A and B are shown apart, each in its own frame.
Chain A
Amino acid sequence: MDLAVEWGQVHALLGENGAGKSTLMNVVYGLVRPDSGEIAFDGQPVQIRGPLDAIRLGIGMVHQHFMLIPPLTVAENIVLGNEIANRGVVDLDEASRKVDELSGRFGLEVNPRERIADLSVGLQQRVEILKALYRGARLLILDEPTAVLTPQEIRGLFDVVRALIAEGKAVIFITHKLAEVMEIADAITVMRRGQVVATTSPKEATPSDLARMMVGRPVLLRVDKKPAKPGKGVLSIQDLVVMDDRHHVAVDNVSLEVRAGEIVGVAGVEGNGQNELMEALMGLRPIRNGTVKVEGTDISRTTTHERLRSGLGLIPPDRHRMGVVLELSVADNLVLDDHDHPPYARWFIRQFDAIRSYAQRLIKTFDIRVQNPDQLVSSLSGGNQQKLVVARELGTLPKLLIAGQPTRGVDVGSIEFIHRQLLSERDNGLAVLLVSSELDEVLSLSDRVAVIYRGKLVAVLDASDADRERVGLLMAGAA
């Protein structure tokens, strides 16, 4: 594949998860060695054997998952590996001064003496960018930089990117979000399955063109949905208080109702108590105060197993940590919740015929792409793993589905599929609590939108009143 990036330009690298964007950038940053081909920098062919080579050339990278040390301060993190030392003693004043100078120049305000642990995700990202600039980056690679930001923070990031470009630096912007590409990019390279399928620009291509190139077929960018016909209340949360692992209040007096046949979306920047809320609803985390009722029955004291049996389903927000057991087969994972109940087990003996035929049915209904049900889940793509989780949770015909980040790290085809499934189950009378940090997902699927900020529900809006701008402000706590 070929890719040419010019100085003074934002070059967007667009593609689905698994298209090879990050792998390509890891080659540029020296984390992965290429098998063949060459890289030229400033017109000169170069060998990049490791990140040190890349840094020396002036290449900086901001990873999707930040590489920061939380207990250290901003300045300490920025100079780490490149400390200004005075006879072996790190000169933090000098470091802070340099950091201040850099942040002033590019509009990246951040207090150099603050600890990383105390910063918001948006500010942590600034620190990552400053770190790269401090090391003399002229080409900055941003890997999915907007995934963790509010719409307002995204705008701030774009201002920074424009300031960098104005100084003649180059930025490679990796993303799968079309709107962002259209707004910020000068040139666009679209990748699919490890290959460049097109090089274009926002002037030449429309968002639907880009989506088609990315996926390889026409894509519906909007979710079609009928108006909801909500029935009786299914989930009723009253004054719920839940603690996080550090015993701080994570869910703060939340009350919420979800009725049969409606999708209630919870919008919020990640880490505002959404995970603790879902875990408390599923019995995975103790409830400090308040009640959770399902169809009028208090379930706050029941075990996860009992809740699953009584008609709750959970698509956990972290697929690998909570959703699937990678080392077990597809069939085993599909009966993970119900493995010890008939017909999947009689006495203590597992009934493989029943497990297999059930698995085959779900594989077909939910379009999970596998060769056979005995295949290990680790060999499945992210999209298929997620469809497996969705299949497992919907396969038991629950009354209430808690869907946490249901399409995270999933290809466009699977996203469409999962969204369609959620909507059709809603139309069949399922109550859905959708928790997602993808604002577009919440806005396009939900019948009502609840906004969570620092553990509080700051607003519950009807879908018709929930526009991007308003919800974005609420998510940032500005209301």
Chain B
Amino acid sequence: MSRRALRWAFSAVLLPLVSVLSGFLVGALAILAAGADPIQAYLALFQGAFTNHNAFAETLVSTTPYVLLGLSVALGFRAGLFNIGAEGQFYVGSLTGVFVAYSIHGLPAVIEIPLGLLGGMAGGALWASIAGALKARFGAHEVITTIMLNYVSFLVASYLVDTPGLMLAPNVSTPRTPDIDPGAVLPIILSGSRLHLGFILALLMVPVVWFLIERTTIGFRLRAVGFNQGAARTAGISVGWTIVLTMALAGGLAGLAGIVQVLGVNFHMTDTVAAGYGFDAIAVALLARSNPWGVLPAAFLFGALHNGASFMQLETQVSADLISIVQAFVIIFVAAPSIVAFLLRLRRAPAETVAITQREVDTPVS
């Protein structure tokens, strides 16, 4: 294998794989420390995620938002943007989307569903563009602005959802919006389960985002800006616009995740609908190494953990929060490739360093 292929195999396959295994190993230590049996716990986790009745379908249901949100964060990464705001964009997308979806009545599903989805995407896109514009215009770091915008979105959402005359549904015991129009509900694709069309939509977005990044001028600009802003600027690429556009696209994906969750699972919005999907998505994108195809298995893993955790808690009394420990360590291992390289004893021998130096020497002029 060539050096490049080897390096690719390491960073794209081996590193995530070993990171996941190491994460589970550290998780097992935590379970031991808590006085429980890690094998029992993981077995229950597996059952809850895959083998129980409808468990697999439920895992795919939780995989759906992870795919869309993972794509959102990965897209930002490719442009060098650390978008912590997927959670907030998910919220705002849910809000605008649910507003559209409960306001329309009596149209055919082929019109109502796309309208609702577009409503969600537009909300997320606009919301994320705020952070993009702040960075492009004033250099405000997107990590700070998106975190702040997250809080704003949570509070705005709960205000809207809790206030009569705004989005609060009449005659409900707990604050929530009205239910969406039946025509806007995403159809179930596996009878007897909650698995809805949004899953297929999420799968379709993977090649779409890949195409966007790898095959379009927008994706090219985005990557050029992500790698080297100076060179992009010198080549006449508008770095500011590229940043705003990237944030809008990422926000659109996050908003889509939000509205898909509403149209496919919840049918209305409460003020706790996001449940941290947007933050987990950062981990999904990291594990996927920002590759849209990599987002699929990473999202599936997170969907399975999410889904299996409650059954594990029920069966073995090991807290579902343990899953956060596993996830956290997976990310630590992914983020620090040298730890994994060390575990694999792939540390470069000094002799190879010399080989590299020689390779960099200029080709002789004949």
Contacts and interface: CB of A to CB of B under 8 A. Distances in A.
A276 B157 CA distance: 48
Interface string A288-323: 000000000000000111111100001010100111
A348 B236 contact: no
Contact of A382 (B354, B362, B364): B362
B215 A349 contact: yes
Contacts of B236: 303-309, 337
Interface in B303-357: 350-351, 353-354, 357
Interface in B234-278: 234-238
Interface in A365-391: 369, 381-384
Given A304-B234, A336-B235, A349-B215, A194 B228 contact: no
Nearest to A392: B235
Contacts of A321: 228, 230-231
Contact of A348 (B218, B238, B350, B354): B218
Interface residues of B, number: 32
Given A303-B238, A332-B220, A284 B227 contact: no
Nearest to A376: B4
Contacts of B360: 18, 381
A215 B237 contact: no
A316 B232 CA distance: 12
A383 B351 CA distance: 26
Interface string A332-370: 100011011000010011100000000000000000010
Contacts of B351: 35
A282 interface: yes
B111 interface: no
B216 A348 contact: yes
B137 interface: no
Contacts of B220: 332, 339-340, 350
Nearest to B224: A325
B228 A325 contact: yes
Contacts of A270: none
A244 interface: no
B131 to A, nearest CB: 24
Contact of B234 (A216, A314, A326, A412): A314
B228 A19 contact: no
A307 B235 CA distance: 10
Interface string A84-126: 0000000000000000000000000000000000000000000
B217 A340 contact: yes
Interface string A30-54: 0001010000000000000000000
Interface string A13-28: 0001111100100000
B231 A194 contact: no
B191 interface: no
Contacts of A318: 230
A35 B234 contact: no
A193 interface: yes
Contacts of A326: 227-228
B365 A412 contact: yes
Given A18-B360, A381-B360, A215 B230 contact: no
A41 B161 CA distance: 78
Nearest to B220: A339
B366 interface: yes
B164 to A, nearest CB: 45
A411 interface: yes
A234 B232 CA distance: 26
B345 to A, nearest CB: 19
A381 B365 contact: no
A194 B361 contact: yes
Contacts of A339: 217, 220-221
A21 to B, nearest CB: 11
Nearest to A306: B236
Contacts of B350: 33, 35
A384 B363 contact: yes
A413 B362 CA distance: 10
A216 B221 CA distance: 41
A194 B223 CA distance: 35
A217 interface: yes
A337 B235 contact: yes
B224 to A, nearest CB: 5
B227 A325 contact: yes
Contacts of A384: 362-363
A413 B231 CA distance: 25
A215 B216 CA distance: 43
A35 B362 contact: no
A157 interface: no
Contacts of A306: 236
B224 A381 contact: no
B234 A323 contact: yes
Most buried by B among A306, A316, A384, A412: A316
B234 A282 contact: yes
A350 B217 contact: yes
B234 to A, nearest CB: 4
A340 B357 CA distance: 36
Given A17-B362, A318-B230, 4 more contacts: A35-B351, A305-B236, A305-B237, A412-B365
24 contacts: A16-B362, A18-B360, A18-B362, A20-B361, A33-B350, A193-B358, A216-B365, A284-B233, A284-B234, A303-B238, A304-B235, A304-B236, A305-B237, A314-B234, A316-B231, A318-B230, A325-B227, A328-B227, A336-B224, A337-B235, A339-B217, A350-B220, A381-B363, A414-B365
Listed from nearest, the 10 A-B pairs whose CB atoms lie closest are: A413-B365, A305-B236, A336-B235, A340-B217, A381-B362, A411-B362, A304-B236, A322-B234, A327-B227, A322-B230
